[in-house]
Structure 1
Amino acid sequence: MSALAVSPVLVPLATVAATTLTMGQPRLQRWLGHAGAWALLGCALALVAQAAADRPAQAVFGGWGVPFGIEFLVDRLSAALVLVTAVMGVASLAFLASDADTRPTHPLTLPLLHGVLVGVGGAFATADLFNLYVWFEVMLICAVGLFAIGGRADQLDATFKYFVLNLLGTLLLLMAVGMVYAVSGHLNYGAIAHAWPQVAPWASTLAVTGLLLAFLIKAGAFPLFAWLPASYHTLPAPVLALFAGLLTKVGVYAVLRAMRDVFVTTPDVLFEALGWVAAATMLFGVLGAAYHWDMRRILAFHIVSQIGYILLGVALASPAGDAATLFYTLHHIVVKANLFLIVAMVWRLTGSYDLRRIGGLYRTRPLLGVWFLVPALSLVGIPPLSGFWAKLWVLQEALHQGRIVWTGVALLVSVLTLYSMMKIWMEAFWKAHPRPDWTPPADARLAPAWAVTGGLALITLAIGLQPEHLLAYSLAAADTLGGR
């Protein structure tokens, strides 16, 4: 058994225990929280290096061999996502040291944050379908805790909305897992892929459809995405950035892994349906963003919209589409988390998230305006930033397959994304502040926030200026999937 294969779970789990036991010692608890996040990052780098050398880390539990024991298998796809998970954990915890909408930190914040990392890491590392369901449950429990610990009325309302709709997805997922086991006799990914061609077509379609619907709810796809913009804006900025970057992407990863690696005889009609769901998700998400004036709600709707682009890559059902999906996912996690952290800095300097009540930041903080434009224009897809290459490779494959309508919707959504990003920039930075006597607070403690957002912006620039490295890795990861 490779200890490295279980590090995405064991390291944050040990950190959960350590930060729980030290809740009465805040300084020690913070130190242990940071140490755990950096340890996870180190393990993630080792996993990527091993996977890139075509030596995926593997562990099988319970004294049973594959396919009966619970298997962890970290290949190129999983390793890349574990790495970006670790980066987001380090960034979110470092941002907590600022006062940019971090709010009074509850003693349970760090244990629950690392609990989320446990669930995300486990979902990416597992090679067992029921185990995937378990890690979704871990994420749900810790996320509900982070929503509720603030205790405000709006947070409790958000907790209820988040819990109810995600519980629907959880129940549907459990039933679908049961169907898969009933018709194939297996839960291990590899064993299912081997047995699936012998499953009756009607049973195969029913089981995969159930799984796909459950994963799409978790991903925040159309039409069941309302829980996301209705709840995310109540979270403190570091927690919001972590959620925005990671939680919906686990659902997308599950769709990619299931349809392109495990259920290798998935009927074409499900890929066709997924493509139209992706187009609707893109469009309805960006329309919600264009309507709102609260920066957090705008960005929350853009999570939905960008999920549509990622799902479109899966729907194309080709190695090029799979590679574009991974590239887009990694880019989007970094960009979206950074945008939420930057608007928290805007809130700290102006006192509001409402664009109609703020302004004048470019005159007083021009560097922050430039900082914002890097992830904002990357989200739009402006060259040479990372989002340009991500969208280019998705749309290039869509055009290659003759998907004109899907491509047209994606291009229209990019224009509307530009509108909403420029709305934030013009209202928050360019126009004058509504109060003539306004000046940014001199006591804002933003040094950690500057460091974190600057680091994430540099990652975005690095990917955009040298995309060939991540593209080559993504293509190699796509080649390891089962394909069709």
Structure 2
Amino acid sequence: MNYLVPLPVVMPLLGAALTLLLASRPRAQRWVSLTVLTATVAVAATLLVRSSIDGPLVVEVGGWVAPLGIVLVADQLAALMLVVSAAVTLCVLVYSIGQGMADGHEDTPLSVYHPTYLVLTAGVCNAFLSGDLFNLYVGFEILLVASYVLLTLGSTETRIRAGTTYVVVSLLSSLIFLVAIGLVYSATGTLNLAQLVDRLDALPDDLRLVLQGMLLLAFGIKAAVFPLSAWLPDSYPTAPAPVTAVFAGLLTKVGVYAIIRTETLLFPGGRTADLLLVVAALTMLVGILGAVAQSDIKRLLSFTLISHIGYMLFGVGLSSSLGLAAAIFYVVHHITIQTTLFLAAGLVERRGGSTALDRLGGLARLSPLLAVLFFVPALNLAGIPPFSGFLGKLGLVQAGVDDGGPLAWVLVAGGLLTSLLTLYAIARVWNLAFWRRPHPEMPEPQDSVHTVRTDGVEQPYRGPDRDAHPGAMLPRLMIAPTVALVVLGLGLTVVAGPLFDLSSDAADDLLRRTPYVEAVYPGGTP
């Protein structure tokens, strides 16, 4: 099964090349993209099953023996991240196709969208599978290039400005990461993660702390942890709804994944654990206070995105098996739920003409299905029992109580307060956008069938521009993937027991480190 490991990276890259060649054939582009992402989901699921049974799967790309060559490693953590990210990107792609068709862009979409989207997927998968620091850096750079193109689609002034901010911040974090890579190589002579385990342990504590701090700073910017998160609320909401959704669901989690991987594999029990807990508490509270103050749904969700990154850092900072397992579980939950909410926000904007709360109202009566699609993941995000959000937070609270330290108790209290404030923010959105009377400026609901006069006769019109205005009926191809993600979020609750067991196994392997190292170097590290 090892031959499957590179496919989640190779297939999207080949698909991107093919869709670029098919730039003048948009329908063929769509089919290629859908086929590639569906195959990626299947391969990722297979890797998850095999890694759970056989242990980490390793491929030395090009036959070059590690540490000289590029090593791709699919352990349980990487495979789990691949499955959820591939499923989310597939659903968002279907949503974006539906949006393009409804807006009349079925035959004339931006030809660069599908190639760029597939390159973004390849970058995410490469980051998850990377077995050395430099290849992880390459994965981040692929993400940067593709995400900048997607963020500035349409070339509006607002999007260009937001994209510029995003690129500047991303380049800064990449520069810090590159400097850290240079320092690590200078100190150890290698960048292979499995080989670094022994060599970093042999370094003086102060030098290890410097290297650890540099990597945490780079990954912290990418994960949007406080105080390195100010760029996110101004960047994400300006993009088209599907782009915002995939950014919110995945990009910050790649940074969180890098923190989990390096903190457990390279710097176990490091001196930064207390710092991580402090940053986690500040990220939770500052993020959710920012959300409470917002009057726009997209910006509010962007601040909740920042806030809930704190829960993941909480589990990592505890450095315990239960805390790490709860953090992994919460990452899977948050990728799914945050993506769903941003897709629902896109539907709100389409139906209500805006995401500004002072210009919305009555959506629960005007579009009951849309109300359900927002309400269910919103409750999940707030941590209402028995949803997966509640179960993930419960695991983190239990891990904090078991730790018993002062900072752990502060995080337990901060986590509960953040959950209550999340519920308040979500309830405010529900009351203003869905429950109260419709705002006078909201567009009137449009019938599913419009008429046009042709040769003096009124005839039904079902042309491409029929739904290209606010108030239009919500397209089925946008509703379907949103429903699928809502069901997936509910499914996480149904399979919470097995999923938490899988997260616990992944956490145990991370903390033991030997399964990863022995998979890459069966005879011992050189």
**1:262 Cα deviation from its structure 2 partner:** 2.4
Cα deviation code 1:53-80 (max 9, x no counterpart): 1343211124432233211010000000
Q: What does residue 411 of structure 1 align with? A: 416
Please name the residue that 1:175 is paired with.
179
Residue number among 369, 374, 377 corresponding to 1:375 in the alignment: 377
Q: 2:432 aligns with which of 415, 427, 431?
A: 427
Q: Which runs of 5+ in 1 are unaligned?
A: none
| Cα distance, 1:39 vs structure 2 | 1.1
Aligned to 2:484: 455
**Are the counterparts in 2 of residues 102 and 238 from structure 1 also a CA contact under 8 Å?**
no
Which amino acid is the alignment partner of residue 344 of structure 1? G
- Residue in 1 that maps onto 2:46: 46
- Look up the SS of the partner of 2:394 in the other structure: helix
Q: Secondary structure at the match of 1:440?
A: coil
1:250 is matched with 254
The runs of 4+ residues in structure 1 deviating greater than 4 Å are 100-104
CA distance in 2, matches of 1:340, 1:149: 17
**Selected match of 2:270 from 262, 267, 272:** 267
Supply the distance in 2 between the matched residues of 1:102 and 1:333 (Cα, whole angstroms): 26
Cα distance, 1:2 vs. partner? Answer: 2.8
Cα distance between partner residues in 2 of 1:108 and 1:274: 39
Q: 1:474 aligns with which of 489, 503, 518?
A: 503
Cα distance change of structure 1 residues 419 and 61 upon mapping to structure 2, 3 Å threshold: same
- The residue aligned with 1:288 is 290
1:437 positional shift: 8.2
Shift of 1:331: 0.4
Change (3 A) 1:471 1:136: same
Pick one of 158, 161, 164 that aligns with 1:154.
158
In structure 2, the residue corresponding to 1:59 is in which secondary structure? strand
In structure 2, what residue type is equivalent to 1:198? Answer: A
Instruction: Give the length in aligned residue pairs.
Output: 482
- Kept in 1, the 8 Å contact 2:134–2:191? The answer is yes
Shift of 1:441: 2.7
Q: What TM-score, normalized to structure 2?
A: 0.89
Distance change >3 Å, CA 100–CA 415, structure 1 → 2: farther
Q: Indicate the residue corresponding to 2:467 in structure 1.
A: none
**CA displacement at 1:101 relative to structure 2:** 11
User: How many angstroms does 1:11 deviate by?
Assistant: 1.0
Within-5 A mapping of 1:30-69: 30-69=30-69
Whole-angstrom distance in 2 between the partners of 1:437 and 1:198:
65
- The Cα shift of 1:445 comes to 4.4
Aligned-residue offset at 1:90: 0.8
Offset of 1:438 from its aligned partner? Answer: 5.0
Report the secondary structure of 2:337's partner residue: helix
* Match of residue 216, structure 2, among 212, 219, 224: 212
> What is the Cα deviation at residue 149 of structure 1?
3.0
* Residue 224 of structure 1: how far off its partner (Å): 1.2
Determine which structure has more spread, i.e. the larger CA radius of gyration: 2
Q: CA distance change for structure 1 residues 102 and 179 in 2, over 3 Å: closer, same or farther?
A: farther
The residue correspondences of 1:291-330 to structure 2 (distance < 5 A) are 291-330=293-332
The amino acid of 1:236's aligned partner reads P
Shift of 1:143: 0.6
State the distance in 1 between where 2:37 and 2:147 align: 18
* Partners of 1:280 and 1:428 in 2: CA distance: 29
Counterparts of 2:257 and 2:29, CA distance in 1: 32
Question: What is the letter of the counterpart of residue 36 of structure 2?
Answer: G
Say which SS state the counterpart of residue 97 (structure 1) adopts.
Answer: helix
Secondary structure of the 2:295 match is: coil
Query: CA deviation digits over 1:87-139, x for unaligned, max 9?
Result: 01110111013339986542111111111111100000011111101110110
Residue 364 of structure 1 and its aligned partner are, at CA, apart by 2.1
- Secondary structure (helix, strand or coil) at the match of 2:6 reads helix
8 Å CA contact retained: 1:100, 1:345: no
Code of the residue aligned with 2:174 in structure 1: it is T
User: Is the CA contact (8 Å cut-off) linking 2:296 and 2:355 kept in structure 1?
Assistant: yes
The Cα of 1:152 is off from its aligned counterpart by 0.2
Deviates more, 1:450-459 or 1:352-361: 450-459
Q: Counterpart in 2 of 1:193?
A: 197
- Compared CA separation, residues 256 and 440, structure 1 to 2 (3 A): same
CA deviation map 1:387-406 (0-9, x unaligned): 01111101110121122111
